[in-house]
Each structure stands twice: as C-alpha cells, then as structure tokens.
Amino acid sequence: GKITAEEKRIYKRLRRGREQSWEVDVESEVSFVLTEATAEEYKAWKEEIAKRKFKKPLRKTEAWRYYKEGENYYQEGKYDQAIASFKKTLEQKPETPWLIAWIHVELGWAYDKKGLKREAKKEYKYVLKFAETVKEKDERLLRAIRAAQNKLK
C-alpha cells in the first residue's frame, strides 16, 4: 500500500492547481496521501477516489481549443474561419460565463470586420447580459462589453 512517486507528483501538482480539480478539499487529500497510511486505509482511499468525478480545467476542453483557434484566425484576418471556430466553441456548450462572453464579443468583432453589422449587433446585444456578472473581475472583458454597448448606439 505504498504511494508511488507518480501519485505524489500528481498531488503536489493538484495542490498548486495544475491538474484536474476535484469536487473535494484538495488540501486534506494531499495531506492524507503524503502521510504514511496503512494498507487498509490506502485501499479504502483508492476505492473512494475511483468513485469521484473530475472537473476538467477550461484550458483542456474542446471549447477552449476552438476558442483559441478562432482567436488565431481573427488575428490573421481570416474572419470566416474565426466565426466558424467561435460557433464550434458555442456548440461545445461551455459553462464558463467568462468564455461565453468573450466568444460573443469576438464573434461581433469578426462580423464587424466582414461588414455584417446586423450580425455584429446581435452578438453585442447578447454580451450585454454579462456586464453585471463581470464587474471588476476582468477589466479587459468589461471594456470590450462597454465598447459593444457603444456600437449599439
């Protein structure tokens, strides 16, 4: 029932937030793993771990991959591909409000660049829903939302 070096590495990374996050108190898990445990305690602990759900970090999701792809296309001036990638991001049904807001902001920008003002305004209107939840958490996103608001005037 000894803990392997690989397991210790994972738990050290968990403590620093670099691995998948658990729906439990990571600190107590890490302290348990790093102490000497009896074979029975270790076996029970491993069985409990096997039953848990893991949450995938945003950067490891398909939504994030498509979003970054869309950003790259936008920066290269490939607005049709950017729009397609941002739409693929939305198809993944991301749950992070921050990401959803940015997708719509950048979709609006891409539509604007293509001269599709009606579609751009639709995206800008949609993103206004996030103005209250963003507050000062992400000043850059808040500025983008304000800019979208101004384009609607």
What burial letters (b/e) apply to 68-100, b meaning 16+ CB within 10 Å?
A: ebbbebbeeeebebbbbbbebbbeeebeeeebb
Query: How confident is residue 76, by pLDDT bands cut at 50, 70 and 90?
Result: very high
The string of pLDDT tens digits covering residues 43-71 is 666 666 566 554 555 556 788 888 888 99
Q: Is the pTM of this model over 0.85?
A: no
Average pLDDT, the chain: 73
Please provide residue 22's backbone torsions phi and psi, each rounded to the nearest 5 degrees.
-100, 160
Q: Which amino acid is at 39?
A: A
- Which CATH number covers residue 103? 1.25.40.10
Co-location of 70 and 144 in the same domain: yes
* Whether residue 138 has pLDDT greater than 70: no
Co-location of 10 and 48 in the same domain: yes
Range from 102-106, 113-117, 124-128, 137-141 carrying the lowest mean pLDDT: 137-141
By residue range, what is the domain housing residue 138?
59-151
Measured N-to-C along each axis, helices 97-113 and 62-75 cross at an angle, to the nearest 10 degrees, of 30
The string of pLDDT tens digits covering residues 18-42 is 444 444 444 455 455 555 556 666 6
Co-location of 20 and 87 in the same domain: no
Co-location of 41 and 106 in the same domain: no
Once rounded to an integer, what is the mean pLDDT over residues 82-104? 86
Co-location of 80 and 139 in the same domain: yes
Q: Pick the residue with more confidence: 38 or 146?
A: 146
Domain count, the chain: 2
Co-location of 20 and 69 in the same domain: no
